[in-house]
Chains A and B, each alone.
Chain A
Amino acid sequence: MRWLRRHLIGIIAILVLVYLFVPIAVVGVLSFNSPVGKYNTSWNEFSIDAWTNICGVPGVCSSFVLSIQIGLFATLVATIFGAMIAFALVRYRFRGRDTTNLLIFLPMATPEVVLGSSLLALFLNLAFPLGFWTVLIAHIMFTISFIVVAVKARLQGMDPRLEEASRDLYANPAATFRYVTFPLVLPGILGAALLGFALSFDDFIITFFNAGTLVTFPVYIWGAAQRGIPVQAYALATLVFLVALVFVLVVQWINHRRRRSLEAAVGIST
Chain B
Amino acid sequence: MTLAPGANGVDVADLTLINLTKSFGDFIAVDDLTLTIPAGSFFALLGPSGCGKTTTLRMVAGLEDPTAGQIMLGDRDLTSLKAFKRPVNTVFQSYALFPHLDVFENVAFGLRRRGIKDVAGQVNQMLELVELGPLARRKPGQLSGGQQQRVAVARALINNPGVLLLDEPLGALDLKLRRQMQIELKRIQTEVGTSFVHVTHDQEEAMTMADTVAVMNMGRIEQMGAPVDIYDLPTTRFVATFLGQSNEIEGQIVESSGDELVFSAYGQRFGVPASRSVVDQGPAYLGVRPEKLGIVPAGQADSVAAQANQVSGKITDTSFAGVSTQYMVMTSWGDEWIVFEQNRSASQPLRPGDEVVVHWLVEHSFGLSPQV
Contacts and interface: CB of A to CB of B under 8 A. Distances in A.
Interface of A: 159, 161-162, 164-172, 175-176, 179-180, 183-184, 262, 265-266, 269-270
Interface in B96-113: 96-100, 109-110, 113
Interface residues of B, number: 34
A169 B63 CA distance: 12
Interface stretch (B85-93, B191-199, B231-239, B281-289): B85-93
B135 A161 contact: no
B92 A175 contact: no
12 contacts: A159-B94, A161-B94, A165-B98, A168-B86, A170-B110, A170-B114, A180-B98, A184-B100, A265-B138, A265-B142, A266-B141, A269-B144
B96 A161 contact: yes
A93 to B, nearest CB: 15
Interface of B: 61-63, 82-86, 88-90, 92-94, 96-100, 109-110, 113-114, 135, 138-139, 141-144, 147, 155-156, 159
A162 B98 contact: yes
Contacts of B86: 168
A165 B96 contact: yes
Contacts of B61: 164, 168
List 10 tightest A-B contacts by C-beta distance, closest first.
A169-B110, A161-B96, A270-B144, A165-B96, A170-B113, A265-B142, A167-B83, A171-B113, A168-B90, A183-B100
A73 to B, nearest CB: 29
Given A166-B109, A167-B63, A266 B142 contact: yes
Given A165-B98, A168-B63, A171-B109, A262 B141 contact: yes
Given A167-B63, A167-B84, 11 more contacts: A161-B94, A168-B62, A171-B109, A172-B84, A172-B113, A176-B84, A179-B109, A184-B99, A262-B139, A266-B143, A269-B144
Nearest to B141: A262
A56 to B, nearest CB: 47
Contact of B96 (A164, A179, A183): A164
Contacts of A162: 96, 98-99
A179 B111 CA distance: 13
A189 B90 CA distance: 30
Nearest to B109: A169
Given A159-B96, A265-B138, A164 B63 contact: yes
Contact of A164 (B83, B110, B138, B147): B83
Nearest to B177: A270
Contacts of A171: 84, 109, 113
Contacts of B138: 265, 269
Contacts of A184: 98-100
Given A159-B96, A161-B92, A269-B135, A168 B142 contact: no
Looking at B85, B109, B147, which has the most chain A CB atoms within 10 Å of its CB? Answer: B109
Given A159-B96, A161-B93, A183-B100, A168 B139 contact: no
A269 B143 contact: yes
A175 B113 contact: yes
A269 B141 CA distance: 12
B320 to A, nearest CB: 35
Nearest to A187: B100
Contacts of B110: 169-170
Nearest to A164: B63
B142 A262 contact: yes
Given A161-B93, A161-B96, A169 B144 contact: no
A270 to B, nearest CB: 4
Contact of A169 (B93, B99, B100, B113): B113
A28 B82 CA distance: 60
Contacts of B85: 170
Contacts of A168: 61-63, 83-84, 86, 88-90, 92, 156
A269 B155 contact: no
Contacts of B96: 159, 161-162, 164-165
B224 to A, nearest CB: 26
A161 B156 CA distance: 14
Contacts of A165: 90, 92, 96-98
B89 to A, nearest CB: 6
Contacts of A176: 84
Contacts of A167: 62-63, 82-84
